[in-house]
Amino acid sequence: MKRWLLGLAAGLLLTSPWPTSAAETAYEWNVADIYPSEHEWMRDYQAVQNALPKLAAFAGKLDDAKTIAQLFALNEQTARKLEKLSLYAHLKRDLNIEDKTAARLGAKVEALAAHYAAKTAFIEPELLALPERTLKKLQNSEPLKAYRYYFHELREQKPHTLTKREEQLLAKLLPALGEAENIYDHAARGDYEPPSVKMPNGKTVTLTDDQYAAMLEHSDRRYRKAAFEAKAKSYEAMEQTAAATLYASVKADELYANVRRYPSGLAAALAADDVPKEVFDHLIAATRRHLPALHRYVALRRRALGLDRVHSYDLYVPLVSEPMKPIPVETAKTLIMEGLKPLGADYIRRVHRAFQERWLDVYPRPKKYTGGYNTGAYDTHPFILLNYSGSLDSVLTMAHELGHAMHSVYTNEAQPYHYSGHSIFTAEVASTANEWLLLDYLYKQAKTKEEKLRLLIEQIEQIRGTLYTQVMYSEFERMIHDKVRQGGSLTADELNDLWLGLLKTYYGPAYAADPGAARGWLRIPHFYDAFYVYKYATSLAASHAIVRAIKTDQSGEAVKRYKQFLRAGASDDPIRLLKRAGVDMTSPEPVERVLRHFAFLVDELDRQLSSQNRQPSTLKETNLKGRLSS
């Protein structure tokens, strides 16, 4: 059952990406779509409070299908309200970390959620205490026919379910076990003061996340280095706190896994998604086998930039001399809708609705959450948070988050509440499929050699950032979890050493690992959600296979299968859902295919750089005609 969720065309790029004040509201959330006022929020809050004794009254009575169905119906009504309550507070807080109303409502709903979890903790232990014969009978009964897959999952959880008393106690402890992330979040966003650097023109610039990303692309290497060193130095003040919070988080993960009788935090995380361990193992092993292609790419950067070694601050500087003009949001919208046309008219209509109805909060503001995400509740439309800068990466991020949003829309239209969630393993397929399609469209529309080169590099960076980098993060996670499970500590120095060692392994001999790069781990909030990041890599491989099928299938069956996948939600395990979409993730082949594609792209980059007389080619030329968008 669904648990409560906390929960280029150059000719177009002629205007500023920033709106006028009159137009800006069109690109801001309207949280009143959830609750028009705090009064309505409090009404649902009270309704949830009132429902808790009624839910608790079912304890000890779950022995017939009719009673269980009544409990499930009341539980769903309550959980849907709780989901909206949490969403409202969460969104207000992410718009402004210092919003006192959001903090107050967030604290109230967090306490209410813990109370709800404790009051409903009896459900699964009580069901699992029933004889197997009774569970099978319930699974096939008419009143519970909508929950048949739930009962299948429930029976798989039986070895890891505790007694009623233990489940109640664990439910009460869960907020405290997750407190490390809250402390880190406040340290990294609320207390952290970004440093400033002086630009070559004498202007002082504050290194916010978006500014820092832009500065790492600066053509003046001295300036890139200064920005990198200032940012790295600024993290010294919080690295001890970050090490302590990460250590506490990993300990909590391993404790939870141990209590649930899993052999490790990794095993518990994989089981939560019904993902076999060989999927994780195949991913790591395949990526390790294909590290030479990444090493070649770094070496190409070194030669193209005329450097002795590539430092961290050289990994993002464009290899295209012509600067790219900022992309206005309206242009980004047009490009995305054109690029996603292979998914059909109904998909495009839903994307248009997202823009029309203010599902997106687009621009960065002080104290706003950094980065981007999509969220929502079953009874609301999706909400997409962005920090749009006008870059190509910003456009791709918008397409990515719209993929998540459309996945939710299709699923919520087709599935009941208890199957409306998505495993991250499948959710990231919908988002990265949009990126593949948009990059393919932009590459085909490019008119000049410079545009094609830029988009070729973007495809390479897509795989580097979403697969190679996320697998490196996953290796780091596995290392720190193994260390803690075996009784080790996680000091800042130990974490720095682990991180720096992985950077050297992944980027190869052409890369110079600066000491400042060792603190990269403390910038990754996903480490507080154990073994989350590997799913970006597996999803990229799966979406690459799906998009390849969509582009080569003239019958429309590939698009039909993909739409069925979007509608399926959590109605089956993610491996089976992807198999129905035509991808077998228990095989290493999808990962191998996208990594071979990376190698092809690197060879093509070498050819294009050589043809433009940037640097002499030292790599064997490969005929890639027709493969760039495969």
pLDDT at residue 423, as a whole number: 87
Q: Are 209 and 154 in contact (CB under 8 A)?
A: no
Q: Give the pLDDT confidence score for residue 8 in this predicted structure.
A: 31
CA 625 vs CA 596, 603, 622, 629: distances in Å: 15, 12, 9, 10
- The answer to whether residue 617 scores a pLDDT higher than 60 is no
Percent of the chain with pLDDT over 70: 93
Q: How confident is the model at residue 626 (pLDDT cuts 50, 70, 90)?
A: very low
Catalytic residue numbers, as ranges: 401
b/e per residue 311-334 (b: at least 16 CB within 10 A): bbbbbbbebbeeebbbbbbbbbbe
Q: What is the DSSP string of 13-68?
A: --S-SSPPHHHHGGGS--GGGT-SSHHHHHHHHHHHHHHHHHHHTTTT---SHHHH
CATH says 30-161 is which class? Answer: mainly alpha
Residue 1 has pLDDT above 50, yes or no: no
The residue that leads in pLDDT, 152 or 283, is 283
pLDDT tens digits, 332-377: 999 999 999 999 999 999 999 999 999 999 999 999 998 899 999 9
Domain segments of the chain as ranges? 30-161
Q: CA 18 → CA 27, 327, 359, 588, distances in Å?
A: 11, 9, 18, 44
Q: How far apart are CA 442 and CA 462, in angstroms?
A: 14
Tell me the residue type at 448: T
State the pLDDT at residue 284: 97
pLDDT, mean over the chain: 89
Confidence of residue 23 (pLDDT cuts 50, 70, 90): low
Q: With beta carbons less than 8 A apart as the criterion, state whether 581 and 561 touch.
A: yes
Task: Identify the CA nearest to 320 among candidates 440, 223, 457.
Answer: 457
Q: In this model, does residue 629 exceed pLDDT 70?
A: no
Q: 18 phi and psi, to 5 degrees?
A: -95, 140
- Residue-wise pLDDT tens digits, 229-248: 999 999 888 899 999 999 99
- pLDDT category at 4 given cuts 50, 70, 90 is very low
DSSP state of 192: -
Confidence (pTM): 0.83
Residue 475 pLDDT grade (very low, low, confident, very high; cuts 50, 70, 90): very high
163 vs 619, higher pLDDT: 163
Return the axis-axis angle of helices 100-120 and 38-56, rounded to nearest 10°.
Answer: 10
Q: What is the tens place of the pLDDT at every residue in 164-210?
A: 788 878 888 888 888 888 888 888 777 788 888 887 778 888 888 87
How confident is the model over 138-176, as pLDDT tens digits? 999 999 999 999 998 888 888 888 887 888 788 888 888
| Total count of residues recorded for the chain | 630
Which residue, chain included where needed, has tokens 């069956």? Answer: 557
What is the token pair recorded at 509? 């001999």
What's the pLDDT score for residue 248? 94
Where does residue 408 fall: left (phi above 0), alpha (psi -120 to 50 degrees), or beta otherwise? alpha
- Give, in order, the Cα–Cα distances in Å from 39 to each of 43, 78, 493: 6, 18, 49
**What confidence tens digit (pLDDT) does each residue in 50-96 have?**
999 999 999 999 989 999 999 999 999 999 999 999 999 999 999 99
CA dihedral over 530, 534, 540, 541, signed as positive or negative: negative
Q: What is the pLDDT of residue 551?
A: 93
Query: Residue 226 and residue 313: Cα distance in Å, rounded?
Result: 9
Q: What is the pLDDT of residue 613?
A: 63
Question: pLDDT, tens digit, for every residue of 397-421?
Answer: 999 999 999 999 999 999 999 999 8
Question: For residue 187, what pLDDT is reported?
Answer: 81
DSSP string computed for 512-532: ---GGGGGGGGG-GGGGSTT-
Q: Report the pLDDT averaged over residues 120-147.
A: 91
Among residues 620, 607, 619, the alpha carbon closest in space to that of 452 is found at: 607
Per-residue model confidence (pLDDT) at position 22 = 47
